[in-house]
């Protein structure tokens, strides 16, 4: 074969090889940047179920990266120095597709990490806790994925439907606590089974999903809802998903008691039923299903004037604050996203108050957006500050030890939630702290 002909054969091969090497380098550089950004933002702890990758087994084939349904929206997994890594821990919501895709069994799905434990209630395969008659499904049990929560709500209802003692006219068959994905599925299942049930929700339809930032993409796979049938979409926005559930609520006649928070659950003397106390009522029931998620009750500031009607704990619609003086309290992504979405409304003055000197818990894009708005004079950022009093038309804030009074018509507190671990333990439900274990 002549040198010229050999070159003609080799050039395409060399070109493909060079393209492949450069592509891998670009992807690795992107993975390194994502990991560095997560560390800089202190976003290194996965919120729920996530992969633990054994580097001694990993062959760097990228199967896990390709399988992750969240990957195209934001970095979750990457390959660094030939090994898979969880480069965006806070973006992982526990799909588990990576484990199934790994050809060498190098991935285990775990809760928590060595540094940060995660409290997970002990639940049997049929979703019953250590207290017979009390069941748990959905995010509270560690499953943050919407499809899993829907399936668990439906399956838990199937288990409850097999209990002895249902149908007693002197009591309810079931009290469902929470109206997120698992609670909706279980409530529809209870309707379908004609159980005498009540569903209570301390906030609004959707549970944790309702607290996602405006426009956030929610990833899901088809799931089966009792009465309704299959949820036909595979990916959607928060708004469309909530609109879908609201349509289900209207079409089926599903009745949910909103703004009703459970304050206690106690077994009755008969040993076969429970009394569920709420902020509005008390229910006697054969069984209880907890689908309350992990967000818990919104953390309050504990300052004078916080009971005012102008104080809320999540942003619903930025337009309602048009032309007003608004205070946002908090330093996480929800606070920064609320602040900059309100700042975009005409005539609105926005102040964000945070107790720390930097927004270390927020993602870079949100920190950058707030910095740009502050530089442009469209947002007032008060670091090292604490709200002292909420008044009718103003707020009193300590800023680095100095008192400041600001005009105000609305306050949004984004200070996270009080996890329900304490509540579970009060009820008597066994809780296990996981430190990077299955």
- Does one domain contain both 252 and 275? yes
pTM for the model: 0.73
The pairing of strands 172-177 and 282-290 is: parallel
**Residue 301 forms part of a structural domain:** no
**Residue 5 forms part of a structural domain:** no
Only one residue has tokens 């199967």, namely 63
- Does one domain contain both 174 and 261? yes
Q: Which residues contact 48 (CB under 8 A, 6 or more apart)?
A: 92, 93, 94, 111, 118, 139, 142, 143, 144, 294
Residue 435 half-sphere exposure toward CB, CA atoms < 13 A: 3
CB atoms inside a 10 Å sphere around CB 349: 19
| Mean pLDDT in residue range 389-397 | 95
Beta strands in 203-332 (DSSP E): 217-219, 224-225, 229-230, 235-237, 257-258, 262-267, 274-278, 282-290, 297-298, 311-312, 325-329
pLDDT of residue 90: 78
CATH number at residue 337: 3.50.50.60
* 115 pLDDT tier (thresholds 50, 70, 90): confident
- Does one domain contain both 338 and 216? no
Q: Is 111 helix (H, G, I), strand (E, B) or coil?
A: strand
pLDDT of residue 41: 67
**Residue 291 forms part of a structural domain:** yes
| Mean pLDDT in residue range 18-47 | 77
* 7 pLDDT tier (thresholds 50, 70, 90): low
Q: Which residues contact 181 (CB under 8 A, 6 or more apart)?
A: 138, 146, 149, 150, 153, 207, 209
CATH number at residue 73: 3.30.70.20
| Mean pLDDT in residue range 41-70 | 85
- Does one domain contain both 106 and 160? no
What would the two tokens of residue 387 be? Answer: 């709200």
Quick: pLDDT tens for 280-319.
999 999 999 999 877 667 788 999 999 898 998 888 788 8
* 240 pLDDT tier (thresholds 50, 70, 90): confident
pLDDT of 349 strictly over 80: yes
**Residue 305 forms part of a structural domain:** no
pLDDT of 136 strictly over 70: yes
* 148 pLDDT tier (thresholds 50, 70, 90): confident
Share of residues in the chain with pLDDT > 90 (%):
47
Cα(205)–Cα(220) distance, rounded to whole angstroms?
18
**Residue 317 forms part of a structural domain:** yes
**Residue 288 forms part of a structural domain:** yes
Nearest to 262 by CA among 228, 240, 238, 285: 285
- Does one domain contain both 220 and 321? no
Q: Please count the structural domains in the chain.
A: 3
- Does one domain contain both 87 and 143? no
pLDDT of residue 36: 82
Cα(328)–Cα(336) distance, rounded to whole angstroms?
8
pLDDT of residue 8: 66
pLDDT of 42 strictly over 70: no
The last residue of one of the domains, among 110, 140, 172, is 110
Q: Which residues contact 123 (CB under 8 A, 6 or more apart)?
A: 129, 135, 136, 141
* 13 pLDDT tier (thresholds 50, 70, 90): confident
Length of the chain measured in residues = 438
C-alpha R_g of the chain: 25
- Does one domain contain both 408 and 429? no
Cα(222)–Cα(232) distance, rounded to whole angstroms?
6
What would the two tokens of residue 92 be? Answer: 């992982």
- Does one domain contain both 135 and 213? yes
- Does one domain contain both 40 and 188? no
* 9 pLDDT tier (thresholds 50, 70, 90): low
pLDDT of residue 5: 67
pLDDT of residue 265: 95
Cα(211)–Cα(149) distance, rounded to whole angstroms?
16
Mean pLDDT (the chain) is 86
Only one residue has tokens 């299903």, namely 289
What residues form DSSP beta bridges with 108?
52
* 420 pLDDT tier (thresholds 50, 70, 90): confident
The last residue of one of the domains, among 110, 132, 166, is 110
- Does one domain contain both 393 and 355? yes
pLDDT of residue 128: 95
- Does one domain contain both 352 and 286? no
| Mean pLDDT in residue range 249-277 | 94
pLDDT of 216 strictly over 70: no
Cα(363)–Cα(347) distance, rounded to whole angstroms?
27
**Residue 129 forms part of a structural domain:** yes
Q: Residue 238 belongs to what domain range?
A: 119-296+420-434
The last residue of one of the domains, among 110, 145, 173, is 110
What would the two tokens of residue 12 be? Answer: 């395409």
pLDDT of 45 strictly over 80: no
The pairing of strands 257-258 and 197-201 is: parallel
Q: Is 336 helix (H, G, I), strand (E, B) or coil?
A: helix
**Poorest-pLDDT segment among 9-13, 167-171, 187-191, 243-247:** 9-13
Cα(399)–Cα(357) distance, rounded to whole angstroms?
11
**Residue 262 forms part of a structural domain:** yes
pLDDT of 214 strictly over 60: no
- Does one domain contain both 291 and 326? no
């Amino acid at each position: 074969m002549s040198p010229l002909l050999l070159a003609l054969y080799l050039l395409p091969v060399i070109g493909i090889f060079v393209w492949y090497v450069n592509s891998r380098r670009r992807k690795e550089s992107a993975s390194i940047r994502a990991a560095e950004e997560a560390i800089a933002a202190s976003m290194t702890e996965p919120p729920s179920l996530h992969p633990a990758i054994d580097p001694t087994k990993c062959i760097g084939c990228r199967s896990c990266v390709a399988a992750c349904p969240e990957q195209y929206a934001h970095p979750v997994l990457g390959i660094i120095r030939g090994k898979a890594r969880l480069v965006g821990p806070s973006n992982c919501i526990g799909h588990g597709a990576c484990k199934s895709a790994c050809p060498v069994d190098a991935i285990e799905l775990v809760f928590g990490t060595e540094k940060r434990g995660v409290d997970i209630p002990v639940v049997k395969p049929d979703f019953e806790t250590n207290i017979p008659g009390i069941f748990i499904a959905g995010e509270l049990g560690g499953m943050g994925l919407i499809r899993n929560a829907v399936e668990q709500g439906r399956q838990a209802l199937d288990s409850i439907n097999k209990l002895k003692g249902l149908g007693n006219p002197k009591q309810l068959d079931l009290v469902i606590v929470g109206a997120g994905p698992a609670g909706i599925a279980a409530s529809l299942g209870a309707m379908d089974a004609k159980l005498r049930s009540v569903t209570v929700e301390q906030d609004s339809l959707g549970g944790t999903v309702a607290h996602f930032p405006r426009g956030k993409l929610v990833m899901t796979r088809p799931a089966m809802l009792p009465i309704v049938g299959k949820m036909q979409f595979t990916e959607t926005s928060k708004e469309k998903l909530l609109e879908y559930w609201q349509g289900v609520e209207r079409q089926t006649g599903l009745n949910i008691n909103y703004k009703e928070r459970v304050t206690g659950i106690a077994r009755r003397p008969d040993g076969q039923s429970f009394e569920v106390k709420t902020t509005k009522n008390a229910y006697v029931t054969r069984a209880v299903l907890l689908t309350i998620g992990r967000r818990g009750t919104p953390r309050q500031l504990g300052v004078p004037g916080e009971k005012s009607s102008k104080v809320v704990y999540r942003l619903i619609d930025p337009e309602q604050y048009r032309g007003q003086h608004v205070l946002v309290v908090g330093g996480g992504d929800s606070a920064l996203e609320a602040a900059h979405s309100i700042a975009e409304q005409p005539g609105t003055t926005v102040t964000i108050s945070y107790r720390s000197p930097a927004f270390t818990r927020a993602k870079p894009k949100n920190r950058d957006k707030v910095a740009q708005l502050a530089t442009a004079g469209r947002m007032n950022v008060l670091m090292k500050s604490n709200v002292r009093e909420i008044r009718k038309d103003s707020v009193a804030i300590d800023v680095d030890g100095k008192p400041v009074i600001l005009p105000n018509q609305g306050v949004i507190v984004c200070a996270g939630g009080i996890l329900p671990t304490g509540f579970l333990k009060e009820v008597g439900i066994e809780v296990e702290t996981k430190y990077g274990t299955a």
